[in-house]
Chain A
Amino acid sequence: MPLLANNAPAANLSGLEAIQAADGWAIAITGTVIVFSALAAISLFIGVLPRLLAACGPWLPEIGSHHDAPVSAASTGPPDDRAKRAAAAAWAKHHDGGG
């Protein structure tokens, strides 16, 4: 059995004729131009964005990050302390309940 199976569909055209027939040149040029235009538009937007934000500054809402949010008092202290406190509270509750 040959290593390479020969199940390639018969290609009707090849060479420059094939490129011509498939509008290859037009697809390649149009495609390149579209990709370039999309990324150029993004580049332009990124370039304008800081000025746009500066101009809209007074109307822009403050965006608080969840990462920057102050940590609640209940969760302060090292994790070990918190675990100890939780264990103590659980023990006290259990004890009060007379269980």
Chain B
Amino acid sequence: MDILFEFLRTTGFYQMTPGNLAMIVIGLVFIALAILKDYEPLLLLPIGFGTIVGNIPTIESMALGVYDSGSVLNYIYFGVSQGIFPPLIFLGIGAMTDFSTMLSNPKLVLLGAAAQAGIFLTLLGALYIGFTPEEAAAIGIIGGADGPTAIFLSSKLAPHLLGAIAIAAYSYMALVPVIQPPIMKLLTTKEERLIRMKPPRAVSRHERILFPIAAFLICALVAPGSLSLIGMLFFGNLLKESTVTDRLANTARNAMIDIVTILLGFSVGASTDAQQFLTPQSLMIFGLGALSFAIATAAGVLFAKLMNLVLREKINPLVGAAGVSAVPDSARVVQMVGQEADPNNALLMHAMAPNVAGVIGSAVAAGVLWSVMVG
């Protein structure tokens, strides 16, 4: 009988805390959002299930959890905590990204830069409410709307906040269709939303092959901290554009990115153990993350309006909102909001330019912040 009572004390039912229960409910909400609303299902489903797994109470003497040295989950989480998975995801993103629209309209690259203002303004906000400079930099990068970059930088600067930052970044990426449209409509007039842009020109193969090499050199020399992210991004793109390494490009953009996404999503979810995750800091990170997204969207739209003051061929300012690098969701949102004003206006291809520029911009911003904080 003693053995039975002893065993019952080790069960999850006995050890469950209100915090664990709350996190399991959050995990279920993520899974529901992924399945019912189709919000970033490839990320929210693994993260949601991982959250449930990470909040099942375990026995201290058994190495089971993400933070228990030697556990299986700990080995998987190694790829997150050491910043290995994000560059591998960037390799896949590079192998699937077509930079042609950006190459055909280079001024749209600046919109991707403008949207990164969210990162640096949020950094100030985080410092204001009492986070350390390293923590503030890791929180600010949420405004880049780039999950892998957020994980990479927080693993380097604030590993104790990694779970909260990753969950905030991916949650807001999933909520792009909810967060962005009101800001975009608020900052533009009906006439501006009706602006039609010239179709992109055809881009030669020479341009598409030279671009990843030259862009890598520029970014890596300006911000060496972004080397691993930017290097993998442009290496993946060169695999694609060279057309002589189709097998490698296919593996990078299909099997490899899928495997890494599964491991990353699941282990990030499993790292949200209530005792580590449910802190006042996490709530502040979520608040700052929302602010960061809103600022990034507004900065992109406002910068497009500013550019229109000097440009002869006007830009539809909605396109600026795609400067946040949630690829391709924010570009889709631009298309959706643009078509509400004019159902025949195709903005998607134009929005892809600042969208991919935003990926480059947020990786460079991460490199700059890393260099500044450790330098």
Contacts and interface: CB of A to CB of B under 8 A. Distances in A.
B18 A28 contact: no
Interface string A5-33: 11111010111101100111101111110
B34 interface: no
A91 interface: no
Contacts of B117: 32
B119 A39 contact: no
Given A27-B123, A28-B120, A47 B106 contact: yes
A48 to B, nearest CB: 9
B372 A31 contact: yes
B71 interface: no
A16 B218 contact: no
Given A13-B130, A38-B223, A46-B106, A5 B368 contact: no
A44 interface: yes
Given A41-B222, A45-B218, A49-B211, A11 B130 contact: yes
Contact of A39 (B103, B210, B246, B361): B361
Given A18-B128, A18-B130, A50 B110 contact: no
Contacts of B128: 14-16, 18-19
Given A1-B19, A8-B279, A35 B116 contact: yes
B250 interface: no
Contacts of B119: 31
A13 B127 CA distance: 9
Given A35-B364, A42-B215, A1 B106 contact: no
A40 B110 contact: yes
B77 to A, nearest CB: 19
A89 interface: no
Interface residues of B, number: 61
Contact of B121 (A3, A5, A28, A36): A28
A8 B280 CA distance: 7
Contacts of B207: 46, 49-50, 53
Interface in B202-235: 204-207, 209-211, 214-215, 218-219, 222-223
Contacts of B278: 3-5
Interface string B355-375: 001001100110011001000
Contacts of A4: 19, 278-280, 283
A28 B103 CA distance: 29
B275 interface: yes
A34 interface: yes
A35 B279 contact: no
Contacts of B4: none
B67 interface: no
A43 B354 CA distance: 11
Which interface residue of A19, A22, A44, A50 has the most chain B CB atoms within 10 A? A22
B113 interface: yes
B178 to A, nearest CB: 25
Contacts of B206: 53, 60, 63
Nearest to B21: A3
A39 B19 contact: no
Interface in B164-210: 204-207, 209-210
A62 B123 CA distance: 48
A65 interface: yes
A16 B129 CA distance: 9
A37 B372 CA distance: 17
A5 B204 CA distance: 57
Interface of A: 1, 3-9, 11, 13-16, 18-19, 22-25, 27-32, 34-47, 49-50, 53, 60, 63, 65-67
18 contacts: A3-B22, A5-B276, A5-B278, A8-B279, A22-B132, A25-B124, A27-B133, A32-B116, A34-B368, A38-B219, A38-B361, A38-B364, A40-B110, A42-B218, A42-B360, A43-B110, A53-B204, A60-B206
Q: Which 6 A-B pairs have the closest CB atoms?
A: A11-B130, A14-B130, A46-B106, A39-B113, A28-B120, A43-B109
Given A43-B110, A65-B243, 6 more contacts: A11-B132, A28-B121, A39-B109, A43-B109, A45-B215, A46-B103
